[in-house]
Amino acid sequence: MSEQLRAAPLLAIVVPCYNEEEVFPYCLRELKGLLGTMAGDGLIKADSFVLFVNDGSRDTTWKLIGDAVAANRCVRGLQLSRNEGHQSALMAGLAAVDETVEVIVSIDADLQDDVNAIRRMVEAYRAGYDVVYGVRENRETDTWFKRTSAEVFYRLMASMGIRQVSNHADFRLLSRRALDALLRYSECNAYIRGLVPMVGFGSTEVYYTRAVRAAGESKYPLRKMLALAVEGITSMTIMPLRLIAGMGFCICVLAFFATAYVLWRKFSGNTASGWPSIVLSIFFMGGVQMLSLGVIGEYIGKIYLEVKKRPRFHVESLIQNNAPEQ
C-alpha cells in the first residue's frame, strides 16, 4: 500500500444492540477505554466516538444508552422505531455516521470480538487499506455444532460463487469512501458480509481469538443463523435456481430411459406391474416439485419485497452529548 501513513482519523465505532442490558456496562467500559488509549497514543482523533444502535430492545438497553450519552461526550445513541434485525440495525448505524468521520468500525455488543483488534485495524487503515476484516483465528469457545455448521456454511457459499471472508462476521473497518460505496447498495434484503467484498478497494485481514460472551444470552440462535444463511444465499446468487434447472434436466434424462425400459417390457410381452414403483415415483416427483416451488417462491418473495422499495428502518431519535469540554 502507500508508503506514507495516513493521518490519525476520526473514528466511529458502531454497535448494534438488542436486549443487551446485561452486557452493556462491560461493552461501554471496554470501548471507552480503547478510545481513550488510542487517542492518547495519537492513532485516532480525540473526538472519536461510539454509536450504540438500539434495535427495538424490550429491556432497559435504551435507558442505559441514554445515561451513557449524558455522562460521556464520546458516546452517541440511535434509537430505531422498532426491531428490524441485526443487519438492518447495523446499516442504520452506518448510515447515521457523520460525513466528517473518516473511519468506521462495526462490532457486536457481546464482546466476543476482541476490541483490541480495532487498534490493528486502524493501523492497517493508516497504512493505506480501505477495508479491514476482523477474522476469527479459532472458534474454540463455540460449540462443536456451531463450528461445524459455520464451516459448512462458508464452504457452501464459496461453492456458489459468493465472495466473502471465511470466519468473518460483522467485525470490520471501513474507510469513508468504502462506506459510501456500501451505502449505494439499496436493496432491502441486504447481506452485508457479501456486499462488502463487492465494493472493492484495498483490503486486508486482522486475526483475533474469539472470546466467550461477557454477559447475557446469544441473540443468534439456530433459527436466526439458518435465516441468515438463506438470506445470504438468495440475496447474493441465483445458483439454487440453476441447480433446480439441472435437477430437472437429470430427471428428464432418467424419465427418457425409464420410458424406453417400459416400452421394451411392453413389447416383449412381460408387462407385470406393481404399485411400489408407481407410489415411489409419485412421492419422488411430488417432493422435487415442492422443493423447487419453495426455492422459486423464496426468490419471488425477494422480488416482491424489493419492488415495493419500502425503507429498511425508521429512526426514532439520535442523541449525543454536546456539552463543552471541562
pLDDT digits (tens, 9 = 90+) for 85-96: 888 888 889 988
Number of separate domains in the chain: 2
Whether residues 208 and 243 fall in one domain: no
Q: Which has the higher per-residue pLDDT, 218 or 8? A: 8
pLDDT at 326: 47
Residues 44-56, mean pLDDT to the nearest whole number: 91
Whether residues 48 and 181 fall in one domain: yes
pLDDT band at 299, cuts 50/70/90? confident
- Is pLDDT at 119 greater than 70 in this prediction? yes
Residues 232-244, mean pLDDT to the nearest whole number: 68
Is the whole model's pTM more than 0.75, yes or no?
no
Q: Is residue 4 part of a domain?
A: no
pLDDT band at 264, cuts 50/70/90? low
Residues 210-222, mean pLDDT to the nearest whole number: 61
pLDDT band at 161, cuts 50/70/90? low
Arithmetic mean of pLDDT over the chain: 79
Query: Distance between CA 11 and CA 110 in Å, rounded?
Result: 20
Q: Which has the higher per-residue pLDDT, 222 or 121? A: 121
Whether residues 286 and 314 fall in one domain: no
Residue 308 vs residues 185, 289, 301: alpha-carbon distances, Å? 16, 28, 11
Least confident window among 58-67, 152-161, 219-228: 219-228
Whether residues 263 and 314 fall in one domain: no
Q: Is residue 71 part of a domain?
A: yes
pLDDT band at 175, cuts 50/70/90? very high
- Is pLDDT at 270 greater than 90 in this prediction? no
Whether residues 314 and 249 fall in one domain: no
Domain span at residue 246?
239-307
pLDDT at 151: 73
Whether residues 120 and 103 fall in one domain: yes
Whether residues 269 and 314 fall in one domain: no
- Is pLDDT at 250 greater than 90 in this prediction? no
- Is pLDDT at 14 greater than 80 in this prediction? yes
Sheet of 315-320, strands arranged across: 203-209, 131-138, 172-175, 103-106, 11-17, 49-54, 75-80, 315-320
CATH number, domain of 74, equals 3.90.550.10
pLDDT at 296: 77
Residues 32-51, mean pLDDT to the nearest whole number: 90
Query: Distance between CA 218 and CA 239 in Å, rounded?
Result: 31
Q: Is residue 163 part of a domain?
A: yes
Q: Is residue 256 part of a domain?
A: yes
Whether residues 245 and 259 fall in one domain: yes
pLDDT at 236: 62
For residue 235, give the 3-state DSSP assignment. helix
Whether residues 295 and 316 fall in one domain: no
pLDDT at 139: 63
Query: Distance between CA 275 and CA 63 in Å, rounded?
Result: 67
- Is pLDDT at 27 greater than 50 in this prediction? yes
Q: Is residue 245 part of a domain?
A: yes
- Is pLDDT at 174 greater than 90 in this prediction? yes
Q: Is residue 202 part of a domain?
A: yes
Whether residues 76 and 162 fall in one domain: yes
pLDDT at 121: 92
Whether residues 155 and 300 fall in one domain: no
Q: Is residue 20 part of a domain?
A: yes
- Is pLDDT at 107 greater than 60 in this prediction? yes
Q: Is residue 229 part of a domain?
A: no
- Is pLDDT at 300 greater than 80 in this prediction? no
Who contacts 174 (Cβ-Cβ below 8 Å, separation ≥6)?
Answer: 94, 103, 104, 105, 106, 130, 131, 182, 196
Whether residues 114 and 186 fall in one domain: yes
What are the strands, taking DSSP E only, across 169-263? 172-175, 203-209
